[in-house]
Amino acid sequence: MAVTAETVRTVARLARLRVSDDEIPALQEELTRILSWVDQLQAVDTTGVEPMTRVMPVTRAWRADEVTDGDCRDALLANAPQAVHGFFAVPKVIE
C-alpha cells in the first residue's frame, strides 16, 4: 500500500503541520514503509475481541461536586506567547 502525495498533504493539514513540497517524497516513503510494516496486524484474528479501553480494571471513585482549583489566571497566562487584558491573544481570525 503506497501513501500518495495527496494523502501526505491531507494528513499534514489535519495535523496542522506545515509540510513543504520538497519534504513530501521522503515523507511518502517513510509513511508507506511504516504503514506497510504495521499492516501485519491485519493477519491477527480478532473476531469477538473487544478493543482495550483501559489498562487496569479500576473504576473511578465519585467525589463531591466542589470547586477544587481556580483563581490562577495569572499563572495560566504566565507562559502565553501573547496575553492582553487577562486573555490569550491570537492573530486576527476573521478578515
Partner 1 sequence: MTALTELTLTAMRAGLAAREFSARELTTAHLEAAEAARALNAFITLTPDHALAAAEAADAALARGAAGPLAGIPIGHKDLFATAGIRTTAASRMLADFVPTYESTVTARLLAAGAVPIGKLNLDEFAMGSSNESSAFGPVVSPWRAGNCDEALVPGGSSGGSAAAVAARLVAAATGTDTGGSIRQPAAFCGVVGIKPTYGRCSRFGIVAFASSLDQAGVLARTVADAAVVLEAMAGFDPRDSTSLPEPVPPWSARLSADLTGRRVGIPVEYRADGMDEAVERLWAEGARWLQDAGAQVVDVSLPHTAQALPAYYVIAPAEASSNLARYDGVRYGLRVVPEGGGLMEMYEATRAAGFGPEVRRRILIGTYVLSAGYYDAYYAKAQRVRTLIARDFAEAFRVCDLLLAPTAPTGAFPLGAKSADPIAMYLNDVFTVPASLAGLPAISVPAGLDARGLPLGLQLIGRPLDEQGVLDAALAIETRAGFCASPARWWGDDSGPS
Location of C-alpha cell 495560566: 76
Q: Is 78 in the site for partner 1 (CB under 8 A)?
A: yes
Backbone dihedral region for residue 15 (phi beyond 0: left; psi -120 to 50: alpha; all else: beta): alpha
Do the beta carbons of residue 3 and residue 10 sit within 8 Å?
no
Q: Is 90 in the site for partner 1 (CB under 8 A)?
A: yes
Q: Is 15 in the site for partner 1 (CB under 8 A)?
A: yes
Residues in contact with partner 1 by CB under 8 A are 3, 7-8, 11-12, 14-19, 27, 30-31, 33-35, 37-42, 44, 46, 49-56, 58, 60-61, 63, 72, 75-76, 78-82, 88, 90-93, 95
